Structure formats: C-alpha cells, structure tokens
Structure 1
Amino acid sequence: MMSVVLAASLSTGCAALQPTKARAEVSDMVATRVGVDDAISLEVVKDSRERVQARVAELLEHPLSLDDALRLALLNNRRFQAKLEALGIAQADLVEAGLLENPVIAGDFVISSLGNGFGGGLSLSQSLLSVFLIPAKRRIAKARLGQTVVQVGQQALVLSRDVKLAYVGVQAAAARLEIQRGLTQAAEVSDELSARQFEAGNIAPLDRELFAAAFDEARLALADAELELVVAREQLNRELGLWGGDLAWTLAHSLAEIPASEATLSDLEQRGIRDRLDLSAARFEVASMQAAIRLRRAGVVPQLEAGVEARNEVGDDVGHEWVIGPSLSLELPIFNPGHADFARLQATLRQAQHYAQGLAIDARSEIRVGRERLVTARRKVEYYRGTVLPRVESIVALSLERYNGMQIGTYQLLEARADLFRSRREYVDALTEYWEARGELELAIGGDLTRDNSAPGPVLDDGAPRGSSVRVRDLGSM
C-alpha cells in the first residue's frame, strides 16, 4: 500500500501545472452553449497577450458581427481573463493534493558545562497520516477543480449574455437615433413653415410658438438619442475590453427581426435544471464537502509521524556512543478531539445542500418568468409588425392622398408622418425588449435556445453532479 501511494505521489508531482484540459473543457462549453469556438486560449505562455492583441486587431478589421463580438469579449475582457486564472489555481491545488508532505529534519548540539565534551542528535521524520490521506485529498481537489471549471463556464455565459445585450443596445440606439433625426427633420420643416406663415400673418402667435416649442423639444430629444448611442457603444467597449485606438468599430448588422419560429419552450425548466452551470457548481460544492467529511473521519488521529533518530550524549565513555533507531510521534486528541471541526464541516455541508436546493427553486422561477417575458415580447413585436405599423402607414398614405387633393394642410401631413416615426420607434423598443428577454432566458437555461447542451455520462465517481459536460475523472489525470 505504501509503495502504491508513493508511486502515485511521485507521478502526481510530475503532473502538468498548466490547466490545459480544464481550459479545454471551458472552451467546449462555450462552443456548445454559445456557438463560438477558438475563444479560450488553452495555454498561458509568455506571448499570450501579443497573440490576443493580434487576434483583436484581426477581428476589428471588419464590421463586427455578434459572433465576432462574443469571440472578442471572451479573448479580451480582462475581468473574464482574471476568472480564467482560477483554473490555474485549482489545477495547482490538485497537483499539490497528490504530493507527499516534505520530511522534517531536526537536530540539536550541546556542550558539557563540566568540560566533558560535546553531544547532540539528528532526526528525520515523515507524516504517515498524510501519506494515507492522499487519495481522499485528491478526490476533494478534483471536485474543487470541476467546480471551478463550471464556475468559469458560467462566467463565460454571463459575459456572453452581457455582450449580446450590449450589442443589441448599440443596434437599438442607432435605430432610435435615425428615427429621432426623422422626427427632428419633420419638426424643423413645421417650424420653418410656421415662421413663414407667421411673417405673412396667416397663423396666430400662439400657433407659431407651439411649432417652435415642438422643434426645440425634438432637438433636445435628438441630443438625448446621440448620447444614448455613445453610452451604448461604451457599454459594448467595456464588455469587449477595448480602449485607445480600437474604438472606431462598426457593427455588421442593424437590429434583427425576430426569428420566424420559436424554439420549443415547454421543457425549459427541465433543461435548465439539467444544464445550468451554476447548479452544477453547487452540486460540486456538495460533493466536495461530502468528500471533506469522509477525509475528516479518516483523519481522526490528528497527527502521526515516523522517522529515524541518531543521538550522542555528552561524554566519551561506554554508554555515551552514537545511537540510532526509529522514532514515532503521535498527537493525542485529548483537549481538542476535533468535534468542533467535524461539526463545522457538517454544518457547511448542510449549508451547501440548502444553497443548491434554493438555487434550483430560483432557477425554475427565473425560467418561468423569462419564458413569459419572451412570449409577451414576441407577441408585441408581431402585433406592431402586423397591425400597428401597417395601420399607421395606411394613415400616412391616405393623408398624402387628401393632401394632394387639398383636403388637409401640410401640418396634418407632417403630423401623420411624425406618428409613423413614433410607431417605428416603439417597434424598435419592442424588438429590443424581445432580444433582451431572449438573452436573459438563454442565461437562465444555461445556453442557446436553439442548441442542445446535454452531455452524457457521470461527472464524479463518488456521488455528485450529473448532467454537466465536465468530466472530473479526466481532469484529475492532468
């Protein structure tokens, strides 16, 4: 048994400290759940930053599509890169969990106060308990590494959601700005016309001031729309990690229409409970606490050390020669038998179990709310597209006919066109609401609505999380 543990410890000591497989797992999650590949660097090398900067420059050479924006954010967002480094920490913990504790060497040197010579001794000891606890410690470290992988994967999904919302925000702000420019232009025409008519004495002073005030209001609204676009662009800049000379990007597409059909929404709760990475992380936490309790039970003797000791007492007569022999030290759990530590672990386990169950309840509620928001937003978009906009466009067309027949004046025609601009702005708001609801729902279920994130097979041999794509058994071989 001792030789097996020693061999395992030595092989673990040679294991790679680079979290290559853990990063590959996160990369696979992103590819499966977001649809973006080649966005996670598998290794951290000296020129990693230079490679990222070159890739960023390459992506910014063309107008940004949503996929390119997601890829850029996953490569360049510094907050996410900081979270990726947690994989290196967990990988180092796994390697360290498989290593033997360093042996302890001690010695002393004494001089006789009566001039009878020198004495002293040397000892070398090794903790025996730590040797036998290595397998249990590695199981805990594997669970922690698996938990870190899904936590980082969840952060990738959160970042992807934020990028999607920011991307839609820029598209919507640009569309609103164009519509407001149309409204401002119409208000300007009305203002100029009213000014000429007032000079000719054809309208009252009150009417002239009302048209001027409407133009003032439109110009102020235009300034707000311009500011909204600036703020939206800066939000996307933050998500993409851009600054300096990289801010002059453009988007490849305007605000998209809703898809012709919606993915099946009936099984979203089951899918979310199966696929959500924050739930997988909570299950890993429960599993690691269960492993920690088993380790604590196995380590009921706090410390057990064995070694060899050599000594020579002061003097050079018989009985004061060098002696050598084995040594054994055992900590007696008299004053602190470890009950408090064991109770702490049990309370932490119950805490983790309650948290996991509460998170599952919250997830189901979030999915139900997100589904209703998506359905309602879709109905609003369809109503605007099928009823409101055609009706307003018909009103403008009929108003133009009456204007050409001299049945209504210019102001009535301009007001009808202004109503059309307002309806289009409300339609943009409805579209934005749909895409925001879709992004939130995709985060709530743990991936793209149109993709299947399931992965078969167990994750942990000792009981816990199932239904995640992370295979801790594979990660433990690193």
Structure 2
Amino acid sequence: MMRHFFLNGRAIAAATALAFLAGCTTFSRDGGFNTVSTVASERLGKDAVLVKTDEDRETVAKRTQELLSKPLSMDDAVQIALLNNRGLQASYGELGISEADLVQAGRLPNPGFMFSRTQGNGSLSINRTFTLGLMSVLTMPLATRIESRRFEQTKLLAADAMLKVAADSRRAYINAVAAGQSVAYTGQVKDSAEAGAELAQRMQQAGNVSKLDYAREQAFYADAVAQVAKARQQSVSAREKLTRTMGLWGAQTQYVLPERLPDLPKTRPELNDLESFAMLNRLDIQAAKLQTQRVASSLGLSKVTRVINAVDVGYQNNFTTSDGHQQGYQIGVEIPLFDWGSAKVARSEAIYMQSVNRVAETAINARSEVRESYSAYVTDYDVAKHYRDDVVPIRKAISDEMLLRYNGMLASAFDLLADSRDQVGAVNSYIDALKEYWLAETDLQQALGGRLPPLAMASAPSAPTTQAASPNDSEGE
C-alpha cells in the first residue's frame, strides 16, 4: 500500500520563509581579497593578486618577465614577491576558509526525515517525520555575526601577511645588493694584497726586505683570499634568499641586480607621534581587537545555549490501517540533568580574558617595536652620514697625501698599498652602514604598519637604485 505525504499551506509558507533566510548569506565576489589589494595599493603602491586560474598565472608570469627584463630595483623586487611568493598565496587560502565558515553559519541546518513502514496481523503502519534543529535557527543571527567578525579579522591578517612579505623582500634585496657590492670591494683589497705580496717576494729575493715584512705581506694576502671566498659565498646566499622571497625559479633566477645600494638620503625627515600612528595603522592590532569582539560575542552565545542547546521540532504524518491518518508534531529537548553548561561558559570566559590580554600584549609590543626601530633608524642614518661626510673624505685625503709622498720618494710602495687597503676598508664600512640604514628604515616601516607617515614620505628624497655608494668614488684610489 502506497501513501503520499503532502504539506499543508502553513508548512509550505514556513518552508518558503526558511528557504529565503537560507539564501541571505552568500559568497562575495572578491572573496575578501579587496582588503588585501587596497592595503597593497595604499601603503606600498603595489599590486597584490590572488592567483586562482591559468589566466591569472599567465598574467603574473608576463608581469614578472617585464620586471625582470631590466636591472632589478627594490620596488620591483617587492612587486615580484607579491606576485609570486607561494607562501603568501597559501596564506590567502585562509580567506576562502573563513568566508566558507561565514556562509555556512548563515545557512539553516538541513531538516531530517524519518520513514518507517511496519506490517503485521493484517495491520499496516506508516510513520513519516520531518525534524529541524530549532536552536540552530534561533542562534543563527548571532553565529553569523561571530563568523562575520572572524572573516574581517582574517582579511586583516591576510593583508598583514602581505606587508610582511613585502618587508622581507626589501630586506633580502638590500642584503643581496650589499653582499654583491662587498664582493667587489673585497676583491680590490685582495688585488692590493696580491700586489704587495708579489712586491715583497721580489724584494725579499733581492735582499731588500726583512723576513718579517715579507711574512706580513704574505699573511695579509692569504687572509684576503679567504675573505673574498667568504664574501662570494655570502653574496650567493643573500641572492638565493632574495630569489626564494620573490618566488622565482628556472630562467627567472638569472635576474640582474644593480652594482650599488641606493644613496643615503641627504636629509632625514623628522617623525613625530609614531606610537599613535602605529596604533591606528598596524593591522595586527586591528585583527586582535576583532578577535576579542568575536570571542565576546561567542561568550554571549555560550550563555544563551548553556542550559538548552539542542531543541528539535518535528512534523509527523502517520498512517495505520486501523486508525487511518494521524498528523501532529514532536519536540525533542536535551535535559540538563548532568551538564548545566557551566564548563562551557567558564571556558568561553577564559578564552575572552586570554584574548583581552593578547590585545594588550600586541599593543605594548608594537609601541616598543616602534621606539626600538626608530632609534635604530636615527642611529644608522647618523652613522652612515658620518662615514659619507667624514670618514671616507678623510681617507681619500690621506690617500692623496700618501700618493704625493710616494711620488716624492718619502713613502714606500708598501705604505702606498697599505693606505689603499685602508681606504677601501673605509668605503666598505660605509657600505655596511648604508645597508644597516636601509634595513632600519624597512623595520621602521613594518613597525608602523607598512609605511612611514605621509608627511615623512612626502618630504623624504627619492632614493635611486644605481647611484654610487661612495660619495667621492674613492674606490681604492
């Protein structure tokens, strides 16, 4: 015997209303990535992309090739990293996960259907029941708000991850260019040491130099050879780190770096109220605040459902041969006999206090990082400026005077070679100081949320990527 189950008009209206509510939460067109791309554009002046299709990959490959077709600048390195860094692309996956949780929270639970058919002693019984989790429906608006805040938090964290990759690429670029520049200057020291060693050998054979002076020149040359090998390996390591940060492989790794770091800016902009600026701009602080708000909302949800967290409402339509059709409803309620939800509430409160302290810790650490990075920024600028304006010019003046003395036969060839090495050493020290300044500026930008204050950026002079690091081009003169 077959029986058909029909919903009455009221049930149909209710089902239609539920279906309408279920369709209110949908996936966004950008998947939450607009926050990341906006931050990249406003704070870095760069493009952030989410690579999902073959067309996206082709576009990225074409843009990367265009940037690699010329000597790589610092800005180009940052842009390439934002396009190709696979770890960054993986972190963007959190956006899809979080949005899926948000959409799921905004959808009604699927109803349940139970059917049974029994027959015996000439009697037939058919039972059909539809059930729906009522508590899930009642708490759906609050659950949606919680997941909405989590989604906003995930957007900020994804943007913050993008800023960190940009900062890492800047550091890797600075170290790679400085390492290559150090190889050149270390090679000059080695050439000077080699000339001194050959001269000492000829003079020792002629009996015009002591064994001690001969041994000193040979020892210096041996050490210079080792320093060149060490500098070359450091250059390879720094370049490979930059390559990894930019996500390059194959023929792309044959990019060309400039010979010198950007020049030191002529003036250092005055930066004020940096801590307040960081509090407003750092994305990790904003994300931590959203985390606390989300946990607070979750605590409210826990208190709502602490006693009754499972209510099932069902509609029944049964049939028996003896009694005919029977219609009705059923309600299933979890009885809080052993668990009154106190542990759930206590856990939520502990998580909330943990989140509050995390926000405070993030803010305190951020302020400290700003002070520390600004101190390094100021100090490294002053040190680099000191080398540029004082040390290197003095070393050049000494070298010029030594050359005059040598021409007047008042100084030996060994004195001239030693002075040349000292001058190259001073220039090399300036390179190190210049590298530390650019690294310090990068650290300060990251501590402030990815950029310096707008007034500072407007007043700071542009830094060309191919200008000489030595202000007087005194490369071992």
TM-score above 0.5, yes or no: yes
Counterpart amino acid of 2:405?
R
SS in 2 for 1:107: strand
1:349 alignment counterpart: 352
2:384 alignment counterpart: 381
2:460 alignment counterpart: none
SS in 2 for 1:322: strand
Counterpart amino acid of 2:286?
S
* CA spacing shift, 1:142–1:398, aligned 2, 3 Å: same
1:312-351 matches, cutoff 5 A: 312-313=319-320, 316-317=321-322, 319=323, 321-351=324-354
1:209 alignment counterpart: 215
Match of 2:253 among 210, 222, 247: 247
Identity %: 31
Counterpart CA distance in 1 for 2:301 and 2:396 is 73
Deviation, 1:141, is: 1.1
Counterpart CA distance in 1 for 2:157 and 2:259 is 32
1:145 alignment counterpart: 151
Counterpart amino acid of 1:448?
R
Q: Which moved more, 1:355-364 or 1:54-63?
A: 54-63
2:24 alignment counterpart: 11
Counterpart CA distance in 1 for 2:175 and 2:375 is 21
Q: Does 1:305 align with 2:329?
A: no
2:74 alignment counterpart: 66
* CA spacing shift, 1:79–1:96, aligned 2, 3 Å: same
Deviations 1:54-102 (A, max 9, x none): 3322322222221111111111111111001111111111111111111
Counterpart CA distance in 2 for 1:405 and 1:414 is 16
Match of 2:421 among 418, 422, 426: 418
Counterpart CA distance in 2 for 1:107 and 1:40 is 51
Deviations 1:7-41 (A, max 9, x none): 342232xx2365x15211111111222221x2223
Deviations 1:405-427 (A, max 9, x none): 11111110111111001111111
1:225 alignment counterpart: 231
Counterpart CA distance in 2 for 1:445 and 1:236 is 23
Counterpart CA distance in 2 for 1:253 and 1:425 is 14
SS in 2 for 1:305: strand
Counterpart CA distance in 1 for 2:392 and 2:62 is 45
Match of 1:237 among 235, 243, 247: 243
SS in 2 for 1:407: coil
Counterpart amino acid of 1:28?
T
1:230-309 matches, cutoff 5 A: 230-252=236-258, 254-300=260-306, 301-309=308-316
Match of 1:193 among 180, 195, 199: 199
Counterpart CA distance in 2 for 1:446 and 1:264 is 18
Counterpart CA distance in 1 for 2:63 and 2:328 is 64
Deviations 1:283-305 (A, max 9, x none): 01101011112222333421222
Counterpart CA distance in 1 for 2:279 and 2:455 is 13
Say whether the 8 Å CA contact 1:59–1:72 is kept in structure 2. Answer: yes
* CA spacing shift, 1:150–1:245, aligned 2, 3 Å: same
Counterpart amino acid of 1:212?
Q
Say whether the 8 Å CA contact 2:31–2:99 is kept in structure 1. Answer: no
1:39 alignment counterpart: 48
Counterpart CA distance in 2 for 1:451 and 1:71 is 21
Counterpart CA distance in 1 for 2:258 and 2:392 is 26
Counterpart CA distance in 1 for 2:183 and 2:18 is 69
SS in 2 for 1:350: helix
1:456-475 matches, cutoff 5 A: none
* CA spacing shift, 1:239–1:65, aligned 2, 3 Å: same
Deviations 1:337-368 (A, max 9, x none): 21111111111010000010011111111111
SS in 2 for 1:327: strand
Counterpart CA distance in 1 for 2:17 and 2:455 is 42
Deviation, 1:233, is: 0.4
* CA spacing shift, 1:266–1:68, aligned 2, 3 Å: same
Deviation, 1:255, is: 0.4
Q: Does 1:51 align with 2:38?
A: no
TM (norm. structure 1) is: 0.88
Match of 1:104 among 106, 112, 124: 112
* CA spacing shift, 1:409–1:252, aligned 2, 3 Å: closer
Deviation, 1:187, is: 0.6
Q: CA RMSD in A?
A: 2.0
Counterpart amino acid of 2:32?
A
* CA spacing shift, 1:253–1:81, aligned 2, 3 Å: farther
1:65-84 matches, cutoff 5 A: 65-84=73-92
Deviation, 1:371, is: 1.0
Say whether the 8 Å CA contact 1:17–1:92 is kept in structure 2. Answer: no
Counterpart CA distance in 1 for 2:192 and 2:268 is 38
Counterpart CA distance in 1 for 2:45 and 2:185 is 33
Counterpart CA distance in 1 for 2:172 and 2:61 is 22
Q: Which moved more, 1:192-201 or 1:230-239?
A: 192-201
SS in 2 for 1:136: helix
Counterpart CA distance in 2 for 1:80 and 1:207 is 57
Deviation, 1:450, is: 4.6
2:183 alignment counterpart: 177
Counterpart amino acid of 1:304?
V
Deviation, 1:243, is: 1.6
SS in 1 for 2:451: coil
- 5+ long unaligned stretches in structure 2: 1-12, 457-477
Counterpart CA distance in 2 for 1:249 and 1:58 is 11
2:99 alignment counterpart: 91
Counterpart CA distance in 2 for 1:57 and 1:299 is 57
Deviation, 1:110, is: 2.6
SS in 2 for 1:251: coil
Deviations 1:77-134 (A, max 9, x none): 111110011111111111111111111111223343xx33432311011122222222
Say whether the 8 Å CA contact 1:377–1:433 is kept in structure 2. Answer: yes
